[in-house]
Amino acid sequence: MIIINNMKFNLDNLVAEYNRLESDLANPDIFKDQKKVKEVAMKKKQLEEAVTLYKEYKKINEALDEAVEMINSSDAEMKELALMQKEESESKIFDLEEKLKIALLPKDPNDEKNIIVEVRAWTWWEEAALFAWELSRAYINFATELWYKVEIDEQSDAEAWWIKEIIFEIKWEWAYSKFKYEAWTHRVQRIPETENKWRVHTSAITVAVLPEVDEVDVEIKMEDIEMTFCRASWAGWQHVNKTDSAVHLKHIPTGLAVFCQDGRSQHQNREKAFQILRSKLYAFEEEKRSREIWEERLSQVWSWDRSEKIRTYNFPQDRVTDHRIGQNFSWIPIIMSGKLWPIIDALAIADQTEQLEKASKGS
């Protein structure tokens, strides 16, 4: 079979592994270890698409072999049917091979996870704070159109609609896969509202996209936590908080800190703060274990080397440029309203293409 020869990948072994994982999940003993259950279930789900495609691929190959044998038939009608079957099978095999190549690419283990997004103003303060608010609104609108659930955990306001920083959660399957390419520095070029000489200014904001993790993924020792409480510095969107409900956590070994004040109670803020801290610790450990994989997605959270922007929003020229793929997108007002699909799809396709090229060179 062409796929096996070209990719040097024993797909029969892949099916055998999938069947073994299915058997493991059917064993009641596995549920004594919830972490093991999660690992096995995730691995099975990652293999599912490739296994389904391969079973269909084998079925069509068998039909092709039968058609080839029937072509030598002396029956003219049978021969014509065999030629039609051969042509149809070859077309299906080509399509299945292309789908299999993508399905066999290494999976990002975080793609299906909920996410925590952090947007911060960086350079040229007022304009960056305004753009931080606008881009965070675009992300929230995009997520809402996908029927994802959005929860704002923390917002540090500047003036008017400007924000210094906003942290929000996006919950639904495949949230990380949709937003993971947004992490890093975004640059904006336009005439600020405060500029009276009509000069174009350049400012920048940073975006971090953290996969949400739970206690099974990250263990936090309470002796490593410094926790303090204080009164919320702003009223929030739905209530006025008159108690010391705001929670500040500091993870002593790493120095990572989280402040949460948007919940209605100290208990809610404490849970939210620990959730965000787990995600930050998870990302921190992932970067340590595999810096190459994470350098384009998470290192902006820790390195503070933000000179490399991933995208420029040029308002006077109505152009958004993603520098990683060298592609331009127009209609900035539409993009900033939350219509991010053209950019996200282009980045996903570029990522798959690059992985396929690497796979072909390695085969």
What DSSP string describes 95-160? HHHHHHHHHTSPPPTTTTS-EEEEEEEEESHHHHHHHHHHHHHHHHHHHHHTT-EEEEEEEEE-ST
The DSSP code for 217 is T
**Residue 89 CA: distances (Å) to CA of 94, 242, 361:** 9, 70, 28
> Which domains does the chain carry?
2-103 (1.20.58), 113-363 (3.30.70.1660)
Q: How far is residue 179 CA from its own chain's centroid?
A: 4
Task: Output phi, psi for 17, to 5 deg.
Answer: -65, -40
Quick: pLDDT tens for 139-148.
999 999 999 9
The whole-number pLDDT of residue 305 equals: 44
Quick: pLDDT tens for 257-299.
888 887 667 888 888 888 888 888 887 776 665 454 444 444 4
Quick: pLDDT tens for 181-220.
998 899 999 987 666 667 788 899 999 898 887 665 677 8
The whole-number pLDDT of residue 201 equals: 84
Listed residue (53, 62, 51) closest to 16, CA to CA:
51
Residues of the chain with pLDDT under 70: 1-10, 124, 157-161, 193-197, 214-217, 232-244, 263-264, 286-307, 362-363
- Could you give the 3-state DSSP secondary structure of residue 255? coil
Give the span between the Cα atoms of 121 and 332, in whole angstroms.
20
- Exposed / middle / buried, residue 75 (Cβ in 10 Å: 0-12, 13-18, 19+): exposed
- In this structure, how many other beta carbons lie within 10 angstroms of the beta carbon of residue 176? 22
**Residue 258 CA: distances (Å) to CA of 92, 122, 154, 240:** 52, 19, 10, 21
Give the span between the Cα atoms of 345 and 362, in whole angstroms.
26
The whole-number pLDDT of residue 306 equals: 43
Residue with structure tokens 């996870």? Answer: 113
357: β partners: none
pTM: 0.71
Query: At residue 31, what is the residue type?
Result: F
